[in-house]
Chain A
């Protein structure tokens, strides 16, 4: 409860500061640079969630502990949500700066492939009736899909040049002043906190659902 209240205050502070205190970065038309504080943390959380999901899947395949699979499933679902939000916000940014919502920039290509891979992951989960089998299959598919990621990272950039602003992603480069950097990191923490909160809720929900299902089957 206290965690939720602190997180709410922190996120509200960040949002207010980002719009009222920070001035828009030079080199971008109008106010569009403010997307940095929302889009990049979303993409970061999506990456974190997918990585966590892959690791949890591997742990499940080795130890066969059900909790690891709950974590893998919840993490993949939240990762999909944040990945989708990052795609939408990125697309709005693309319209404002490059002139079109979608132009198959390498970043857009790889994010769409990520969405497709995890879309397929959920389809697989819903198509296997047996619980044990479903968990194993999902883990196997998630590792197999992870092995194609290096190809996406190295091959897709060969095809076209990216217009994605890299400077804003890399705080080590000059291009972001210290005030922006502090609030950027603050926003990153806020989004990660939000993710952790949602993840705990989701895992708890799956655990309760599993327990209830067990009880119903027992009473039958």
Chain B
């Protein structure tokens, strides 16, 4: 390994701030992801497989018109959450497998590492939602009365998903039996968010008075709380 040859590696200088370090880690992860496409491929293939299964077995006319907003919201969020859980742990597991964890610990401050990984996970989730949500709407004939509110729900829901899982990913990267452990640990933390997101998407699709805006706010609050607590706790598990 010749870390300094490429000149692309993160060096901690006096002038570097948390933000520049975080952005540097984010870009580095994006670049390495662009080369291997491991995480994005596994997440997207998982999502597409589930979407095709759901669409094939249910189709766009099986469910009665009045039941659709709720059941479609449930199906959409099940697809999104489980695809995210299938690949998001890669962000830290790959450091462990490549043996770069220790060097990363030396080259950036813990909070910056967390923010960089969070930004990377959010990018993955953004790509996932950009592809899966339109495909789901097209395949299932999902009619949405308040598109603005629906988009806001997807964005805040995605933020919450990233916020709730990044710290868990950092923990399981240092444990045994990583794959199964990630879902088992993340799911209880994500349950309140999933319930909120399903409710919000359903109400945005129905289009009744307040639509899903209260749920959007709850999901945003969840994301903010999880990011704040994770930033406080992350140094503890990172410096072990």
Do A and B share a complex?
yes
Q: Which residues of A contact B (CB under 8 A)?
A: 61, 113, 116-117, 119-120, 123-124, 127-129, 132-133, 136-137, 139-141, 143-145, 147-148, 151-152, 155-156, 158-159
On whether A120 and B188 interact (CB within 8 A), knowing A127-B175, A147-B226, A147-B229, the answer reads: yes
Residues of B within 8 A of A147 (CB): 225-226, 229
Residues of B within 8 A of A139 (CB): 236
Q: Which secondary structure dominates chain A's binding surface?
A: helix
A136 x B175 contact (CB < 8 A): no
Bound complex: CA A141 to CA B240 (Å):
15
A61 x B187 contact (CB < 8 A): no
A133 x B176 contact (CB < 8 A): no
Binds A, one of B20-28, B117-125, B177-185: B177-185
B167 is an interface residue with CB less than 8 A from chain A: yes
A148 x B237 contact (CB < 8 A): no
- Choose among A123, A129, A133 the residue that contacts B185 (Cβ–Cβ < 8 A): A123
B150 is an interface residue with CB less than 8 A from chain A: no
- Choose among B176, B187, B218, B240 the residue that contacts A120 (Cβ–Cβ < 8 A): B187
B176 x A129 contact (CB < 8 A): yes
What are 27 A-to-B residue pairs whose CB atoms are below 8 Å?
A116-B188, A119-B188, A120-B184, A120-B187, A120-B188, A124-B185, A128-B175, A129-B176, A136-B236, A136-B237, A136-B240, A137-B174, A137-B175, A140-B167, A140-B171, A140-B233, A144-B189, A144-B226, A144-B229, A145-B188, A145-B189, A148-B188, A148-B189, A151-B222, A152-B191, A155-B192, A155-B195
Per-position 1/0 for B208-226, Cβ under 8 A of A: 0000000000100010011
Sample of 7 further A-B pairs with CB below 8 A, known A116-B187, A156-B195: A123-B185, A124-B181, A127-B181, A128-B174, A132-B240, A141-B171, A151-B192
A105 nearest CB across to chain B (Å): 15
A54 nearest CB across to chain B (Å): 13
B68 is an interface residue with CB less than 8 A from chain A: no
Bound complex: CA A139 to CA B236 (Å):
10
Bound complex: CA A159 to CA B191 (Å):
14
Residues of B within 8 A of A140 (CB): 167, 171, 233, 236-237
Bound complex: CA A159 to CA B215 (Å):
12
Bound complex: CA A140 to CA B176 (Å):
17
B158-201 residues at the A interface, CB under 8 angstroms: 167-168, 171-172, 174-177, 181, 184-185, 187-189, 191-193, 195-196, 199
Residues of A within 8 A of B191 (CB): 113, 116, 148, 152
B156 is an interface residue with CB less than 8 A from chain A: no
A127 x B177 contact (CB < 8 A): yes
On whether A123 and B195 interact (CB within 8 A), knowing A144-B189, A145-B189, the answer reads: no
By CB atoms of chain B within 10 A, which of A116, A147, A156 has the most?
A147
Across the two chains, which residue of chain B brings its CB closest to A125? Answer: B175
Across the two chains, which residue of chain A brings its CB closest to B183? Answer: A120
B230 is an interface residue with CB less than 8 A from chain A: yes
A135 nearest CB across to chain B (Å): 10
Across the two chains, which residue of chain B brings its CB closest to A152? Answer: B192
Can you list the 9 inter-chain pairs with the closest CB atoms, starting with the nearest?
A151-B192, A117-B188, A116-B188, A127-B175, A128-B175, A140-B233, A120-B185, A133-B240, A147-B229
By CB atoms of chain A within 10 A, which of B167, B189, B229, B230 has the most?
B189
B188 x A159 contact (CB < 8 A): no
Across the two chains, which residue of chain B brings its CB closest to A153? Answer: B192
Residues of A within 8 A of B175 (CB): 124, 127-128, 137
Across the two chains, which residue of chain B brings its CB closest to A139? Answer: B236
By CB atoms of chain B within 10 A, which of A113, A143, A151, A159 has the most?
A151
Bound complex: CA A113 to CA B187 (Å):
10
Residues of B within 8 A of A137 (CB): 171, 174-175, 237
